[in-house]
Amino acid sequence: RIDSFREILDACVVVNKHELHTRLVTYLIANEMLYTPANLAEMFLLLNKDNRDDKRWGYQKLYAYIDIKLSEALKQPLRKVGDWSITEGVRCDCNDCKELSQYLQSSVTQTKVWPLAKARRQHIHQAIDGMGVPVTHQTKRQGSPYKLVLRKTKRLFEQESYEKGKINTCLSKLKVSS
């Protein structure tokens, strides 16, 4: 998905559409839920370096944003043992997704057994898959309605260490490229 966004930015450069390009860069910065700063850094590094230096394209603003966000992320302490909270936001604001969000944000709740009708279970399955969070979701086919069993996995702890390393690498590459 982010590759498509990068291709659109590159296309704007090819057809010399500065205003649209700048609006797209501003959109990226204003909508933090779209991509992680590390994803934006990787995209930024793939953009044409000649254009990144040209003030008309608005890349300085994007670079500054990525630099600040990556630096802030590096300063965050690692997760404490036993902290099961997941801070990624759920993109939908329906009541089920609000409850999902509460479960994800809980630092102590690792498992949730949730009786839901089929359509609601599917919606939650899709929300979790779309977020890419380390939560398994299975349907327990007993009773009525069936129960959705959510379980936060230990990958949550491994993923954070990996992300810190990725952020550090991205920040180093950005510094070298500028």
Q: Is the pLDDT of residue 155 over 80?
A: yes
Q: With bands split at pLDDT 50, 70 and 90, how would you rate the model's confidence at 32? A: confident
The pLDDT value given to residue 124: 96
The pLDDT value given to residue 91: 84
State how far the Cα of 162 lies from the Cα of 30, in Å rounded to an integer.
26
Helix (H), strand (E) at residue 6: helix 2-14
State mean pLDDT over 26-52: 84
Q: Is the separation of the CB atoms in 84 and 104 below 8 Å?
A: no
The pLDDT value given to residue 96: 96
Structure tokens at 63: 């670079």
Q: With bands split at pLDDT 50, 70 and 90, how would you rate the model's confidence at 145? A: very high
Q: Is the pLDDT of residue 36 over 80?
A: yes
State how far the Cα of 84 lies from the Cα of 42, in Å rounded to an integer.
28
Q: Is the pLDDT of residue 49 over 80?
A: no
Q: What is the pLDDT of residues 131-143, one digit of tens each?
A: 889 999 999 999 9
State mean pLDDT over 166-176: 88
Q: Is the pLDDT of residue 166 over 80?
A: yes
The pLDDT value given to residue 135: 96
Q: What is the pLDDT of residues 91-105, one digit of tens each?
A: 899 999 999 999 999
The pLDDT value given to residue 120: 96
> Which strand ranges, in their side-by-side order, compose the sheet holding 135-140?
111-115, 147-152, 135-140
Most confident by average pLDDT, 19-28, 107-116, 167-176: 107-116
The pLDDT value given to residue 160: 81
Its pTM surpasses 0.75: no
State how far the Cα of 87 lies from the Cα of 77, in Å rounded to an integer.
14
Q: With bands split at pLDDT 50, 70 and 90, how would you rate the model's confidence at 111? A: very high
